[in-house]
Amino acid sequence: MIPFSPPRIDQASIDAVSEVLRSGWITTGPKTKEFERQLAAYTGAGRVFCCNSNTNGMELFLRWLGIGPGDEVIVPAYTYCATANVVMHLGATPVMVDVLDDFTIDPQGVAAAVTGQTKAIIPVDLAGLPVHYDQLWEIIQDKKSLYSPNSESQNQFGRIALVSDSAHSIGARYKDEILGSQADAMVFSFHAVKNLTTAEGGGICFNLGDEFNLEEVYTWLNTRSLHGQSKDALAKTAAGNWEYDVVEAGWKCNMTDLQAALGLVELHRYHDETLPKRKAIALAYQDAFSVNPHVREPLLADSERESSYHIYPIRIACEDRAKRDEVIKRIMARDVSVNVHYKPLPLLSAYSSSYSIEDYPKTKLIWQQEISLPIYYDLSDSDLERVIEAVELSVDEVLT
């Protein structure tokens, strides 16, 4: 069976993790700090804070923003549940907006959804394609007069915050720049299936105006990721340094040095090895499917944006979920693993009583048509050919 998205684990990954295992320090420490520094250099972000997942990274940042009951946060209806779950955890209301044909949030829908309660927008660089950042910034400027802050940091912001769910998009480009500095915060995921993995992990790139002290914000996030403890475990090991305070009942979502060691190996080879390989696979799929009338290829780049090639999502020419499911069954029967990204939020039990899929026609259409194909560093040319053949045979059987 051709797998869907296995991680690239080689001797370099094993050596790096082994070195940390032998070092006597395996939780948050020097490797995590080094990974944060190198991520900031790669992404151009003002500062980076790493934790145990994109989900907890987004949630921590929203907590720092003081988002809570009564606040609204705009999210796409077409995304993974984490984007909206973090808003729910804070007692705020996710306001869902439809997407464009390219799977990214529709700026016009965002503009229409802003109210006096809107405190943040969480767009998603879905599949790795950056959202329309400039258009979202214009909306935030246009709607400034509606904004009514109710926390200290919201007051300092003086406008809606742009907190990008960049789980898929490390290494993607917007206007020729690698993503990391295009929003107030851009939160990457280093989950096992992601382009750059630490097994589990997340990185918040934050870019705040001069009115904020980035080191203070970093300390706030770091402290709250460790129960609100005023010293981390490494600092406490220094002679006579055992005593600490807890400044607020915090959370526990720190990144470990084992994870960061893996991340450092992944980051070193990301630009020159991982991304070009992913791009080559995506372009080979584009070539093959561009001549197939039943398969619509995804948008990978336009004049402003270039994907990170995280997910390769084709759309089958049908308006009937059953046909898409039948195509999947037949592809899998040919020993090729595929996936669907995503079942839209309004169709999930956690959200279906408050949101209707009929309000999000593009989301509904894309979901009925979408199939994600294998894309990963170790996919061989012959396996790539097998995937293409399995997709084409299966699609032809079902649609002709």
Ligand X SMILES: Cc1ncc(COP(=O)(O)O)c(C=O)c1O
Please say which residue, 93 or 189, places its beta carbon nearer to ligand X.
189
Please say which residue, 62 or 124, places its beta carbon nearer to ligand X.
124
Do strands 305-306 and 173-174 pair parallel, antiparallel, or not at all (unpaired)? antiparallel
- Residue range at the interface with ligand X (CB under 6 A); choices 53-61, 100-108, 115-123, 171-179: 53-61
CB of 80 to ligand X, least distance (A): 4
Enumerate residues 6+ apart whose C-beta is below 8 A from 399: 294, 316, 317, 318, 323, 327
CB of 76 to ligand X, least distance (A): 9
Question: Given its phi and psi angles, is residue 355 left (phi above 0), alpha (psi -120 to 50 degrees) or beta?
Answer: beta
Please say which residue, 98 or 394, places its beta carbon nearer to ligand X.
98
Q: List the beta bridge partners of residue 242.
A: none
- Contact between residue 128 and residue 169 where contact means Cβ atoms under 8 Å apart: yes
CB of 55 to ligand X, least distance (A): 3
Contact between 310 and ligand X per CB under 6 A: no
Please say which residue, 96 or 167, places its beta carbon nearer to ligand X.
167
Question: Maximum CA pair distance of the chain?
Answer: 76
Binding test (CB under 6 A) with ligand X, winner from 167, 316, 336, 384: 167
Contact between 122 and ligand X per CB under 6 A: no
Binding test (CB under 6 A) with ligand X, winner from 20, 77, 82, 300: 82
Hey, what are 264's tokens? 């450092």
Binding test (CB under 6 A) with ligand X, winner from 93, 169, 189, 195: 189
Binding test (CB under 6 A) with ligand X, winner from 83, 254, 274, 394: 83
CB of 181 to ligand X, least distance (A): 20
- Contact between residue 43 and residue 178 where contact means Cβ atoms under 8 Å apart: yes
Contact between 80 and ligand X per CB under 6 A: yes
Contact between 53 and ligand X per CB under 6 A: yes
Give the CA dihedral 281, 173, 106, 119, nearest 10 degrees. 130
Hey, what are 168's tokens? 């898929």
Contact between 79 and ligand X per CB under 6 A: yes
Residue with tokens 């509606």: 146
CB of 254 to ligand X, least distance (A): 14
Residues 196-255 that bind ligand X (CB under 6 A): 202
Size of the site for ligand X (CB under 6 A): 14
CB of 361 to ligand X, least distance (A): 21
Residue with tokens 């320090």: 25
Query: Could you tell me which of 77, 80, 87 has the C-alpha nearest to residue 119?
Result: 87
- Residue range at the interface with ligand X (CB under 6 A); choices 28-36, 80-88, 272-280, 313-321: 80-88
Binding test (CB under 6 A) with ligand X, winner from 191, 277, 305, 330: 191
Is the bond into 174 cis (omega within 30 degrees of 0)?
no
Query: Could you tell me which of 155, 124, 118 has the C-alpha nearest to residue 140?
Result: 118
- Contact between residue 363 and residue 351 where contact means Cβ atoms under 8 Å apart: no
- Contact between residue 92 and residue 72 where contact means Cβ atoms under 8 Å apart: yes
Evaluate the CA torsion angle 271, 101, 317, 367 in order and state its sign: positive
Contact between 182 and ligand X per CB under 6 A: no
CB of 190 to ligand X, least distance (A): 7
Binding site residues, ligand X, CB under 6 A:
53-55, 79-80, 82-83, 124, 165, 167-168, 189, 191, 202
